[in-house]
Structure 1
Amino acid sequence: MSIVYKCRHCGHVIGEINQQVVDTSILGWNKLTNEEKREMIQYKSNGDVQIQAICENCEESLGHHPEYHELDFFIQ
């Protein structure tokens, strides 16, 4: 099982955790609301878990262009 952090905007893999057992409270999942969990966490058929996050480059772009927050995808 892998936990893969992927940018929701550009698709870049930010990081990956390859562990059989992971304490999700250490990852902060317990601080997410149920809605945030539904939006961010996807369970794949191969057993992997994909987390939708934002990479540093996209975060910087959002900082320079706040109007991009209104868009689901701002990178074409």
Structure 2
Amino acid sequence: MAIIYECRHCSREIGRVDEQMTDDTMLGLDQLSSEEKRDMLSYEADGSMRITVICEHCEASLSRHPHYHELDYFIQ
């Protein structure tokens, strides 16, 4: 089972954890609310977990262009 971090805006894979012995506390997922978990976590058919976050490039774009926060997607 892999844990895959992916950018919610550009869909770029940011990182991957292939460790078998991880839990929510080790990943910090226990700090998320139920709503945040529904929004950020998904599970693949092979048992992998996909966590959507924001990559550095998209975060920089959001910082330079705050009005992008109003958009569902700003990467074309």
**TM-score class normalised by the smaller sequence:** over 0.9
TM-score after normalising by structure 2: 0.95
Structure 1 stretches lacking a partner, 5+ long: none
Deviations 1:32-74 (A, max 9, x none): 0000000000011111100000000000000001111111210
Residue correspondence of structure 1 range 55-70 to structure 2 within 5 A:
55-70=55-70
Q: Using the alignment, how far apart are the partners of 2:25 and 2:71 within structure 1? A: 30
Q: How many percent identity over aligned positions?
A: 51
Structure 2 stretches lacking a partner, 5+ long: none
**One-letter identity of the residue aligned with 2:16:** E
Give 2:24's aligned residue. Answer: 24
SS of residue paired to 1:26: helix
Q: Using the alignment, how far apart are the partners of 2:5 and 2:52 within structure 1? A: 6
Give 2:35's aligned residue. Answer: 35
TM-score after normalising by structure 1: 0.95
Give the total of aligned pairs: 76
Instruction: Tell me which protein shows more helix as a share of its residues.
Output: 2
Q: Using the alignment, how far apart are the partners of 2:58 and 2:64 within structure 1? A: 10
Large movers: runs of 4+ above 3 Å: none
